[in-house]
Amino acid sequence: MAKQFDLYSMTEQELCDLSRHLGEKPFRGKQLFSWLYSGAESFHDMTNISKEFRKVLEENCSMALPEIARKQVSVDGTVKYAFRLSDGEVIESVVMSYHHGNTICLSTQAGCNMGCRFCASAIGGKSRDLTAGEIMGQLLAAERDLSKRIGNVVFMGMGEPLDNLEQVLKFMDIASHDKGLNIGYRHFTLSTCGLCDKIVLLAEKKLPINLAVSVHSPFDDERSEMMPVNKKYPLLKLVSALRVYQAATGRRITLEYALNKGKNDSLDHAKELMRLFGGLMYHVNVIPINNAREGYHKSGKDAVKRFVDYLTGQGVSATVRRELGADISAACGQLKHEIKEM
Ligand code: SAH
């Protein structure tokens, strides 16, 4: 039977409340919190907690990490994991190494309901949201497996993080805690397809995280075709939500723009993009679209260069995202929600 309390989903305060609930002094919760994020692999390791209380914890609480169902290593060193969750759902996460440290790309949902036509994660829709503990579990399982510290998190795996905002916020709260993983908010990047109401909600939290928005076209008809979410939240609404966000946080926004050969890679697109987002501080992250779904093809090197050079020539900050892990289908848009039995 599943244990009643999932410890990796709990804040330090919640663990103090839990300790009291289980008949111990609340401060035991603080000790428990520290152990969870300093490498304890079982209750047995928690030597400053009495044997009796460890037994109570063992009976009522889970500190299990997701099981590694598959691990693939790219020629460029990128690692992709398929993790099996306690109910059999399988999700994927990717660890990338840069000179400034290791970054993990986390999934926030099993599947995704946003329906972007170029993204493999959308196939089959969403089974469910992940809990904060399951989001954390991906990071801890990867750190343990690789014996490496991961200092940066991007919510760019499977799922739409703003469609599971509460659990994503809780995960960041725990991960940023100095007795948790001590990952500062500036090391989190949340990518959204543009759920405007949630962008405004996030703005109210005033967190110094990085917000990235998937734009992919500055024209409503074309964007709606690529991203059905645009029908509900068209570009002008998106721009207004981002204005609210920027006024509240003062943070520069990243615009993600995947180039699809001969479709959205013209200079007219670049010009309209600049016009539309004109009043904002932003950086454009250009992604030669990855092979994930039929009908979408990477723009050629020349077209990518022309697009980026145009923007930078106009004084807009723009770079091309490094393409990592394509040989193991670990690149943007290639993470798949696999069905339970693997
Ligand atoms: N749901 C969020 C985060 C997940 S995807 C979002 O939509 O932003 C992370 C990034 O990869 C997004 O910018 C997404 O649009 C992009 N992406 C999806 N499929 C892609 C593909 N085939 N090629 C390149 N980028 C892709």
Site of tokens 């306690």 = 86
DSSP string covering 153-195:
EEE-SSS-GGGGHHHHHHHHHHHHSTTTT---GGGEEEEES--
CB within 6 Å of ligand 1 — which residues? Answer: 114, 116, 118-119, 156, 160, 191-193, 214, 256, 258, 287, 289-290, 292, 332-333
CA-nearest residue for atom 3, ligand 1, is: 156
Question: Mean pLDDT score of the chain, rounded to an integer?
Answer: 96
Residue 339 counted as domain residue = no
For 144-170, write each residue's pLDDT tens digit. 999 999 999 999 999 999 999 999 999
Nearest CA to ligand 1 atom 20: 333
Instruction: Tell whether 39 and 80 lie within a shared domain.
Output: no
Tell me the pLDDT band of 1, cut-offs 50, 70 and 90.
low
173 and 44 inside one domain: no
Q: Residue 342's pLDDT is what?
A: 47
d(CA 178, CA 189): 19
Give the count of domains, the chain.
2
Report the separation in Å between the CA atom of 116 and the middle of ligand 1, taken as the mean of its atom positions. Answer: 8
List CB contacts of 14: < 8 A, sequence separation 6 or more.
29
Question: Do both 53 and 171 map to the same domain?
Answer: no
Identified catalytic residue from 89, 92, 134, 256: 92
pLDDT band per the 50, 70, 90 thresholds, residue 339: low
CA distance linking residue 186 with residue 153, whole number of Å: 10
**H or E stretch covering 6:** strand 5-6
The pLDDT assigned to 37 comes to 98
Decide if 334 is inside a domain. no
For ligand 1, pick from 106, 114, 118, 298 the residue to mutate: most ligand atoms within 8 Å of CB: 118
Distance, C-alpha 107 to centroid of its chain: 5
* 17-24 average pLDDT score: 97
The domain spanning residue 219 has which CATH number? 3.20.20.70
Residue identified by tokens 């959205």 is 264
Pairwise CA distance, residues 200 & 247, whole Å: 11
Note whether 145 and 115 are same-domain residues: yes
Q: Which domain holds residue 292?
A: 67-328
Residue 340 forms part of a structural domain: no
Mean local confidence (pLDDT), 118-133: 96
Q: What is the pLDDT of residues 214-230, one digit of tens each?
A: 999 999 999 999 999 99
Q: What is the pTM of this model?
A: 0.96
Residue 225 annotated to the active site: no
Q: Judging by beta carbons within 10 Å of its beta carbon (0-12, 13-18, 19+), is residue 38 exposed, middle or buried? A: exposed
Would residue 332 show up in a list of annotated catalytic residues for this protein? yes
